[in-house]
Amino acid sequence: MKKLIIAILAIAGTLSLTHCTTANADNITSNADTRGKVISQLMNNDAYMNEVMDSMKTKHPHTMDMSGDNMMDKMMDMCKADSAMCKKMMGKTMDMCNNDTAKCKMMMNEMHPHHNVMKALKGMCDMKGMKM
């Protein structure tokens, strides 16, 4: 019985010294490295990404109603800042184009004012023998 009490006290002491707590959102996002990993995990998982987008639409509808030009500017800024995120975003965009031609045409119409983007896309299509 003494050994059991000593074992329980040892475990309780160890747990109190290690401060085993459940991490909350503020702790996780306060560190830039951790925050980046969390965001990447959310962006890479379609179910989580849909949940994030639904939450943003509910909590920040004005942010989600950006004009096409403003959205393109934000996307270009993001691509300049984070090449890995840009690659993922372009992959998702290409998936969207493959799955929904109406959305693809809408996106292409939004890109027309951005001549450098259109030149780059045309160059990529020309290299692959596609008409644009």
Domain that holds residue 54: 29-65
CA distance 37 to 44: 10
Q: Is 104 helix (H, G, I), strand (E, B) or coil?
A: helix
Beta strands per DSSP E along the chain = none
Q: Are residues 107 and 52 in the same domain?
A: no
Per-residue pLDDT tens over the stretch 74-97: 777 877 788 888 788 888 888 888
Note whether 117 and 86 are same-domain residues: yes
> What pLDDT is stored for residue 125 in this prediction?
61
Indicate whether 115 belongs to any domain.
Answer: yes
In a domain, 21, yes or no: no
75 and 59 share one domain: no
What is the value of pTM for the model shown?
0.34
Structure token digits, residue 96: 């969207």
